[in-house]
Amino acid sequence: MTPEREQKLLAVLQRRQPDLTLIAEQVHKSRNIAALIRNCDAAGIAEVQVVKPKEGYQQYRGTALGSDRWVDTALHDTLDLAIEGVRARGMKVYAAHFSEQAVPYREVDYTEPCAIVMGAEKEGISPRAAEQADRHIIIPMQGVVSSLNVSTAAGIILAEVIDQRLKAGFYDRARMPVAWIARKMFEARYP
Amino acid sequence: MTPEREQKLLAVLQRRQPDLTLIAEQVHKSRNIAALIRNCDAAGIAEVQVVKPKEGYQQYRGTALGSDRWVDTALHDTLDLAIEGVRARGMKVYAAHFSEQAVPYREVDYTEPCAIVMGAEKEGISPRAAEQADRHIIIPMQGVVSSLNVSTAAGIILAEVIDQRLKAGFYDRARMPVAWIARKMFEARYP
Ligand SMILES: C[S@@+](CC[C@H](N)C(=O)[O-])C[C@H]1O[C@@H](n2cnc3c(N)ncnc32)[C@H](O)[C@@H]1O
Ligand SMILES: C[S@@+](CC[C@H](N)C(=O)[O-])C[C@H]1O[C@@H](n2cnc3c(N)ncnc32)[C@H](O)[C@@H]1O
């Protein structure tokens, strides 16, 4: 690695957010998973939670553009295990879900530790995930079609997360443990 | 059409925005065009401008989910023709483009009549489009990968447009000419 590349990587790793993640619930298309990971990278998510689709998990391919090297994927057999994991790390759970209780996504405070649950392409968020979530959030839409593509929806919510966390200075100081940053730098040097 | 469906459609058509559009510059993948159109529908765009990619335009397929029935596509042979068209309708031109002059996308006033130019998957915005644009806008990113997928980027910018236009009451009253709304209702009844 060149010193410039090393410096760029360190800067990125220092912007990673220990208290932010995304849970992909039964997202089937590997292309959508790849796009979700690319969006997670942009928001500084260090690890994305993937709940294995019932018919099995295919390794994603497509347009992650290498972001998957820098965003770890934690695979979970069930949604409950994914939620348990993020709760153990003190995170709130926000489900991107059309429901009576849903609030517009910009009304939520994303500087709190949080995990955002995104639903499957056809079925959306499961009843179980809807029940477990602390809040339901929606992106207001003005057209005929009733939902956005899952990765676009995630991108929009994460853009709001970035905005709030930029304002709060969360990307200005290293927030990950130094041991984690050092390990990642080491792995980058000796892949 | 059932009366409920007719009512729903009328409500959507009344939310269409005469002074808002998107220009897709040389976006090659039909899947990305379909996703852009779905995002345009969500923001109330009545007509999207597509600049034909050099190697020819394939009709999009994929995940427009029928939004393409409700968002018209204007095909242009060149970018200049697309820009001339929107300027003739009094629109400002904002290019989603990484450049020195670019401003964060939330700093722009999208209640002004405007067209948002999105660049090609690989090449991005052309030098010509960059030069013609009134402003360059960027979405701040915190990760390793240097760009978002074009339809995700469009979705994020359009979510800000929706937010500003919702606050300005632009979706609360019919803004399209009554003749246009009537024609669309007619076409829906007799497809
Ligand atoms: C294609 S949508 C699923 C649509 C499904 N038919 C439903 O009714 O939930 C896939 C996922 O994207 C997210 N999503 C899409 N549009 C959204 C919106 N406007 N607000 C919040 N989340 C959205 C949700 O997590 C949803 O489960
Ligand atoms: C995949 S990107 C093109 C990347 C290209 N290599 C470049 O440097 O412009 C496709 C298009 O999406 C839009 N885009 C992607 N990420 C963006 C961001 N963070 N801010 C603004 N526009 C973005 C731009 O219109 C861009 O031309």
Per residue in A106-155, pLDDT (tens digit) is: 999 999 999 999 999 999 999 999 999 999 999 999 999 989 999 999 99
Q: What's the confidence (pLDDT) of residue A60? A: 56
Judged by CB atoms closer than 8 Å, whether chains meet at B151 and A152 is answered as yes
Residue A38's nearest CA partner among A76, A8, A71, A75 is A71
* Ligand 1 binding site (Cβ under 6 Å of any ligand atom): A 96-98, 118-119, 121, 124-125, 138-139, 141, 147-148, 150, 153
ipTM of the complex: 0.95
Q: pLDDT digit string (tens) for B154-177?
A: 999 999 999 999 999 999 999 999
Whether B36 is in the pocket of ligand 2, judged by its Cβ within 6 Å, is: no
Please list every residue in chain B whose beta carbon sits closer than 8 Å to the beta carbon of residue A15: 142-143
Q: Domain for residue B3, yes or no?
A: no
How, if at all, do strands A135-138 and A103-104 pair? parallel
Q: pLDDT digit string (tens) for B8-47?
A: 999 999 999 999 999 999 998 888 999 999 999 999 999 9
Can you give the residue range of the structural domain that contains A26? 16-121+148-182
Q: Domain for residue A140, yes or no?
A: no
Q: Domain for residue B110, yes or no?
A: yes
Q: What is the CATH number of the domain that holds A34?
A: 3.40.1280.10
Q: Domain for residue A156, yes or no?
A: yes
Where residue B148 falls among pLDDT bands split at 50, 70, 90? very high
Q: What's the confidence (pLDDT) of residue A65? A: 61
Cα distances (Å, whole numbers) of residue B187 to A31, B6, B71: 35, 12, 13
Q: Is residue B184 classed as helix, strand or coil in its secondary structure?
A: helix
Partners of residue A117 on adjacent β-strands: A23, A95
d(CA B52, CA B54): 6
For A171, the closest of B9, B142, B153 (CB atoms) is B142
Q: What's the confidence (pLDDT) of residue B189? A: 86
| pTM metric for this prediction | 0.96
Q: Domain for residue B51, yes or no?
A: yes
Please list every residue in chain A whose beta carbon sits closer than 8 Å to the beta carbon of residue B176: none
Whether residue B68 lies within 8 A of chain A, CB to CB, comes out as no
Q: Domain for residue B173, yes or no?
A: yes
Q: pLDDT digit string (tens) for B93-126?
A: 999 999 999 999 999 999 999 999 999 999 999 9
Cα of A131 vs centre of ligand 2, distance in Å, is: 37
Neighbours of B147 (CB within 10 A): 18
Q: Domain for residue B40, yes or no?
A: yes
Mutate to test the pocket of ligand 1, among A98, A136, A137 (most ligand atoms within 8 A of CB): A98
Question: Chain B: residue nearest A13 by CA?
Answer: B143
d(CA B154, CA B36): 7
Tell me whether residue A74 is exposed, middle or buried, using C-beta atoms within 10 angstroms of its C-beta: 0 to 12, 13 to 18, 19 or more: middle
Cα of A43 vs centre of ligand 1, distance in Å, is: 20
What is the number of structural domains in chain A? 1
Whether residue A21 lies within 8 A of chain B, CB to CB, comes out as no
Task: Among the bound ligands, name the one nearest to the CA of residue A120.
Answer: 1
Please list every residue in chain B whose beta carbon sits closer than 8 Å to the beta carbon of residue A9: 144
**HEC string of A7-41?**
HHHHHHHHCCECCEEEEEECCCCHHHHHHHHHHHH
Tokens of A88: 């153990």
Q: Could you tell me if B118 and B25 are in contact, meaning their C-beta atoms sit under 8 angstroms apart?
A: yes
The amino acid at A110: Y
Ligand 1 atom closest to Cα of residue A150: 12
Tell me whether residue B53 is exposed, middle or buried, using C-beta atoms within 10 angstroms of its C-beta: 0 to 12, 13 to 18, 19 or more: middle
Which segments of chain A have a pLDDT < 50? none
Q: Could you tell me if A138 and A102 are in contact, meaning their C-beta atoms sit under 8 angstroms apart?
A: yes
Handedness of CA B10, B14, B19, B23 (dihedral sign): negative
Q: What's the confidence (pLDDT) of residue A63? A: 56
Q: pLDDT digit string (tens) for B49-94?
A: 999 887 766 665 555 566 678 899 999 999 999 999 999 999 999 9
d(CA A136, CA A130): 7
